[in-house]
Chain A
């Protein structure tokens, strides 16, 4: 598609265009364009695979994979959803920011390599599953099995964390302001260092989650007992 001249702001009607058409238009818009997607009505895959800096507002509730695969190591779009989203918002995000004004369903930020997923409401089960370097920040509660097998990156939970938090965690770090229902296998509570407090402070500044007291969060990391084969377990194999 030929490149479009930026008109600010661009409005795209999700009832009039297919998701594929919308994403094609988004890809063709010049850097810095402002776009509003109206009437999303729970549609999936909106603003997926957008690598360049756009300011995208989704005007209502949206479906699965919103903003997934977006951005790059050097940045990406800034997406705001004025509503709630379905499964896997920001899946495999590489860069940029996705802000959800409402709640997010399961697997928010799954496998995100970079960028930030901000959920102003609650996140359902498996938030930050297999995180690979991105940031998932939830103002409210996060559901069971959040941070499962997260390899790198940061998860901030402003409310309570459900059962099995950080199960089989690698090197990602989880900060929880509220209660933790239970820790998953190989996850442990660790001492909060000054670096941690600074990291949470900057996340609070970035997200606006000022109900979180950076010095009072619980740090959860990996006990690293599942990393290696241990000779005393030989009999189990």
Chain B
């Protein structure tokens, strides 16, 4: 399983509520990933991204780090049900292979070891043996090589085999992509105040004005990006 959430705020008045919006989103997906919880908070452009990740359920971790008080223009989060590597804070999502780049993943990659060996041969250094970190490092590697985010994500679709919904953020962009078989869920809700993504609609159901939002599921294999 695992749950992913993200929100890009368009209306500056909502920025003061970023943490308060993210907490119920994550808590709604606590069942999808009870092992550990992580978030990335984009407070202000030019300021470092704050990453909080720890072992524990979403309500526990959000309380422990007082996530509800956070402000900012963009945030992503992850609730983890570990399937292929250890349950430690280091193994939690988001993975941030470069300043301002954060990745959360629901799914599993079957060829991550192959991609990891190639990246290691190119000098990329890993923190963990987590398969999602390989995707994050791969995107970081492509961006460092000069790709824009859309190009980097197309490379992910070309190189990686497996099940995935990936949510990727930079200081100015917010992207979501699902594998061609749509094995893992995703729902988007967009209003003129925000665009939000979650594994399941119930994580979006409490957002302000969601009843008037455009709600849709990203089509399989299609890349969706939003820019600030």
Contacts and interface: CB of A to CB of B under 8 A. Distances in A.
Interface of A: 41-44, 61, 63-64, 84, 86-87, 105-106, 124-125, 143-145
Contact of A42 (B182, B200, B217, B220): B200
B201 A86 contact: yes
B204 interface: yes
Given A84-B215, A125-B220, A144-B220, A42 B185 contact: no
Contact of A41 (B182, B206, B215): B206
B178 to A, nearest CB: 10
Nearest to A42: B202
Given A84-B215, A105-B217, A125-B220, A63 B185 contact: no
A64 B205 CA distance: 14
A144 B221 CA distance: 12
Contacts of A106: 182, 185
B185 A61 contact: no
Nearest to B185: A87
27 contacts: A41-B205, A41-B206, A42-B202, A42-B203, A42-B204, A42-B205, A44-B202, A61-B201, A61-B205, A61-B215, A63-B200, A63-B201, A63-B202, A64-B200, A84-B201, A84-B215, A86-B185, A86-B200, A86-B201, A105-B185, A105-B217, A106-B182, A125-B181, A125-B220, A143-B182, A144-B220, A145-B181
Contacts of B206: 41
Interface in B180-228: 181-182, 185, 200-206, 215, 217, 220
A63 B217 CA distance: 13
What 9 A-B pairs are tightest by C-beta distance, nearest first?
A42-B202, A41-B205, A42-B201, A42-B205, A125-B182, A63-B202, A61-B201, A41-B202, A124-B217
Contacts of A144: 220
Given A44-B202, A84-B215, 9 more contacts: A41-B206, A42-B201, A42-B204, A63-B202, A86-B185, A87-B185, A105-B217, A106-B182, A125-B220
Contacts of B220: 125, 144
Contacts of A63: 200-202
A143 B180 CA distance: 12
Contacts of A42: 200-205
Contacts of A43: 202
A144 to B, nearest CB: 7
B212 to A, nearest CB: 13
A124 B215 CA distance: 14
A234 B215 CA distance: 51
Contacts of B182: 106, 124-125, 143
Contacts of A145: 181
A207 to B, nearest CB: 23
A203 B185 CA distance: 31
A105 B84 CA distance: 28
A144 B219 CA distance: 10
Contacts of B202: 41-44, 63
Contacts of A125: 181-182, 220
A86 B185 CA distance: 9
A86 B203 CA distance: 12
Contacts of A105: 185, 217
A39 B181 CA distance: 32
A214 B205 CA distance: 39
B220 to A, nearest CB: 7
Contacts of B203: 42
A1 to B, nearest CB: 25
A144 B179 CA distance: 13
Interface centre among B182, B185, B201 (most CB of A within 10 A): B201
Nearest to B203: A42
